[in-house]
Amino acid sequence: MRKLLVCAYTLTSWNVMASYTLHIERENQISETEWLAICEKDSSLTVQHVAKTTNPQTGEIIEIQTPNSCVWTSPILRRKYNFTYANGSISFGSDKAQIKKAKKLAQLLSAKVIGDEGEEY
């Protein structure tokens, strides 16, 4: 499932094609309701159930279902970053600004930021 999630993340990430994915996780799974409540309270996050991107070679618009995912717009960089919810955890890229935001979100969820290889950030 995690490999599928990484593929979906790569397809939906229009900012930087991440080669390494990080996750907000805790021992007890994060519920969809809990995650969406955090997203709705934070004005820099927007819930996004469908991600769209354009194939730069063909111009084709590609859509993928991203239920319960959020897009964070960095107030300083004005860049958009995806946080993808699935199976009780949230996955995201390894950009420094996004990691900083993820740590704040993890704290609100009593969770940790963990890399694919189990290391804690």
> Tens digits of per-residue pLDDT, 87-99?
999 999 999 999 9
19 pLDDT tier (thresholds 50, 70, 90): low
Taking the CB of residue 89, how many other CB atoms lie within 10 A of it?
A: 19
Domain boundaries, the chain: 2-115
Least confident of 13-17, 36-40, 57-61: 13-17
The set of long-range contacts for 61-69, using a CB threshold of 8 Å and a minimum separation of 24, is 62/11, 64/8, 64/11, 64/12, 66/8, 66/12, 68/32, 68/35, 68/36, 69/12
Q: Report the residue count for the chain.
A: 121
Q: What is the pLDDT of residues 97-114, one digit of tens each?
A: 999 999 999 999 999 999
Residue 48: which H helix or E strand, with range?
strand 45-54
In this prediction the pTM is 0.78
Average pLDDT over residues 32-57: 94
